[in-house]
Chain A
Amino acid sequence: DTEVTQTPKHLVMGMTNKKSLKCEQHMGHRAMYWYKQKAKKPPELMFVYSYEKLSINESVPSRFSPECPNSSLLNLHLHALQPEDSALYLCASSPLSSQMNYNEQFFGPGTRLTVL
């Protein structure tokens, strides 16, 4: 299985709602990532989990809360978002193999989030 899956595909939420994005991989990868992407722009890194521990938080507002329940799952909890948070949210995973320096990340299909 060489796939990263994300649910839901689309999400519309109000500014007072609480929702969660989910990501799953079964490639045995030990690092997982959340990115935010605006149209025609490159992905922007939000969070990195290495060996199920949060290792990087790119100064993301606290209304975004990541969670890594186990090595295959990654969640992003959303609360009190703003309309400018509307974007494509991408999950990725990578092997973290010390024997290879390929830095390859494998992306899921993304969740299109619209905040009203």
Chain B
Amino acid sequence: TQLLEQSPQFLSIQEGENLTVYCNSSSVFSSLQWYRQEPGEGPVLLVTVVTGGEVKKLKRLTFQFGDARKDSSLHITAAQPGDTGLYLCAGGIRTSYDKVIFGPGTSLSVIP
């Protein structure tokens, strides 16, 4: 059974601070997605990483896929209140459909 863990579970920081969220597993994934979800809304896909060691940047967000494709990190520079939300990592598994396993999520609150 593939499982994803995320840490920290909750994070409350001041505007302007930096933070890193971690997504870890003992399983290898064919891809890994990061989603951000605001209360009462659906998850929004931020990025997909597919190659071990891959780094992608999206403005103030930096995503890294571990060399062994078992873990990933999301780093936010100079956090803003608009970054507040639930961050979900999801590992892709090759099967008959586009199966993903979700981590439990990291709830981020950025205080102005």
B59 within 8 A of A: no
Residues of A within 8 A of B52 (CB): none
The B31-63 residues at the A interface (CB cut-off 8 A) are 31, 33, 35, 40-45, 48, 50
Do B50 and A104 touch across chains, with their CB atoms under 8 A apart? no
Residues of A within 8 A of B93 (CB): 103
The A39-74 residues at the B interface (CB cut-off 8 A) are 40-43, 48, 50, 55-56
Binding site for A on B (CB under 8 A): 30-31, 33, 35, 40-45, 48, 50, 86, 88, 90, 92-94, 96-100, 102-105, 107
**Can you list 24 A-B contacts (CB < 8 A)?**
A6-B42, A40-B105, A42-B88, A43-B88, A55-B97, A88-B40, A90-B43, A94-B98, A95-B98, A96-B98, A101-B30, A101-B31, A101-B50, A103-B30, A103-B31, A103-B92, A103-B99, A103-B100, A104-B98, A105-B33, A107-B43, A107-B44, A110-B41, A110-B42
Binding site for B on A (CB under 8 A): 4, 6, 31, 40-43, 48, 50, 55-56, 88, 90, 92, 94-96, 101-110, 112
